[in-house]
Amino acid sequence: MAWRVEFLEGAAAALARLDKGTQARIFKFARERLEGEEDPRRIGKPMKGSHSGRWRYRVGDYRLICHIEDGRSLVLVLTIGHRREVYRKK
């Protein structure tokens, strides 16, 4: 089954603020690891507490917070941020 990866507007804006090398690394991860994966849950970790139902993916020091929609075979990237900031409430 082929999965698609889409970025919400806020995640795309956060990605655009990162340096080019980090952007390329995140795009490569999304294209090669998530889209090519049989089940994206195998490589991610489920979140707990108020974030339950979401999944996190580690790309170096950055984290992708995602929602997985099985019916549409979609990994929706909600937030991208540095590991020290991404889990904080705004």
Considering the entire predicted model, what is its pTM? 0.92
Pairing of strands 74-82, 4-7: parallel
What is the CATH architecture assignment of 4-82? 2-Layer Sandwich (3.30)
- Residue 50: the pLDDT is 86
For the chain, give the DSSP string: ---EEEE-HHHHHHHHTS-HHHHHHHHHIIIIIITT-S-GGGTSEE--GGGTT-EEEEETTEEEEEEEETTTTEEEEEEEEETTTTTS--
- Residue 23: the pLDDT is 97
- Residue 90: the pLDDT is 56
Residue 15 has a CB neighbour count (10 Å cut-off) of: 19
Spans of all domains in the chain: 4-82
Mean pLDDT for all residues in the chain: 93
Per residue in 5-37, pLDDT (tens digit) is: 999 999 999 999 999 999 999 999 999 999 988
